[in-house]
Amino acid sequence: MKNFLVHNEDVKQEMLENIGLNSIEDLFKQIPSKARMVELDLPDAISEMETQRIIKSLAKKNNTDFVSFLGGGTYNKFIPACISQVANRFEFLTAYTPYQPEISQGTLQVMYEFQTMICRLTGMDISNATVYDGATACAEAILMAVRISKKNKALVSNKLNPEYIDVIKTYCWASDIELKFFDEIPENTEDFACVLVQNPDFYGEIREYRRPQSLFIVCVDVSSLSVLEPPSDADIAVGDIQSLGIPMSFGGPHAGFIACKEKFMRQIPGRLAGRTVDTDGNPAYCLTIQTREQHIKREKATSNICSNQALIGLCATLYLTVMGEKGFKQAGFLSSKNAHTLAEKLSQKGVKVLNKNFYNEFVIEVDNSDKFLTKLKDNGIIGGLKLNDKQILVCATEMNSKEDIDRYVSSL
């Protein structure tokens, strides 16, 4: 273990001499002194017992007893108890999940099964083994379309998740890709690499889109595919998998996916696991395609910053396995039913519901969003996501009981 010891002064001096420097100060002289941290302002060390006491007191400040009607990209979904029990096994829960096939057949098989499930849900031919989240999936899909089409302009719906749009803007700014936003897909899109839409959109509306002349990217809520048709007419399907057995966890972590038609397989970023047989004829799993610069020539890499969220992908795979097709559809049906029940009762109460067709979230218009949400919060309800002074995005899932819905309405 000596290689992992902190460098002593002799070793530090030898390293400095090898690069032509005399001191640590010389090494960092290009960094302005005002930007340097002289020392860490840390408290004195305390015992583990004292630390636990402090952490518990801080944790008590988080009030988790509210009934939640939050949506907008992070959803309160039912999670079978067995998922965390399996995912927390030491074979999976590592500091960095290994991918070497000789020691990671289980991890590779999970990736393969995850890809298969995403393909079945989306109607696509190929899926990768997750990316960081839905936002980066959208951005990477645009970069993918630009590589395929050799065009550097992209059309993006204004009704996409605003956080996704921010990430897309950053990616495209760095890649010199021109972005144009729209409310309705233009008649002629031939000059653009792709058209990106979200369905249901960020505001919950289910929309009918005509296929554009350019590559078509559809961002989906995978849980909605339990009751809605898959985006099989798209060239690329992307989305976030938080709704597949991943806790809300105060906003993260999430994971995303990118799936596509087979002809675009070589341009998909991230990792793809495949199945073959070993010399004895037994099933064997391996990383079939690795498109990061760690694995191939840098100029051929499809992305140098995307990776896969192996542990979260495992949770999603476990969720779909445990729920099964029937359970998955039942959860989606209950989620949609509860949302429509709430919307109907709010309308009867005089609250204006702006959506016509929606899955499990919708927008309401009120006199004052802050007052509306505060009144609900005083009754132990997080009533939705404030969009502006008069509009709120409300979501209901299978976790919201009839009593929760009645309590929401009666609190107004």
Neighbouring C-alpha atoms within 13 Å toward the C-beta of 27:
10
How far is the CA of 275 from the CAs of 105, 130, 282, 292, 304, in angstroms?
10, 17, 10, 20, 25
Residues of the chain with pLDDT under 50: 1
CB 109 within 8 A of CB 313: no
CA distances from 233 to 121, 122, 123, 209, 283 (A): 13, 10, 8, 10, 33
CATH 3.40.640.10, the chain: domain bounds? 82-318
pTM: 0.86
pLDDT for position 192 = 98
Q: What is the pLDDT of residue 188?
A: 95
Is the domain defined by 82-318 classed in CATH 3.30.565.10?
A: no
Q: What CA–CA distances, in Å, run from 207 to 159, 192, 280?
A: 11, 22, 51
Q: Nearest-CA neighbor of 164 among 219, 208, 124? A: 219
Q: Note the pLDDT tens digit of each residue in 237-258.
A: 999 999 999 999 988 899 999 9
3-state secondary structure of 364: strand
Give, to the nearest 10 degrees, the angle between helix 162-174 and helix 134-149: 40
From the candidate CATH numbers 3.90.1150.10, 3.40.50.720, 3.40.50.1100, 3.40.640.10, the one assigned to the domain spanning 67-75+324-410 = 3.90.1150.10
Which tokens in the block code for residue 369? 């969003």
Measure the CA–CA gap between 127 and 111, rounded to whole angstroms: 10
Q: What span, in angstroms and rounded, lies between the C-alpha atoms of 196 and 146? A: 12
CATH 3.90.1150.10 residue ranges of the chain are: 67-75+324-410
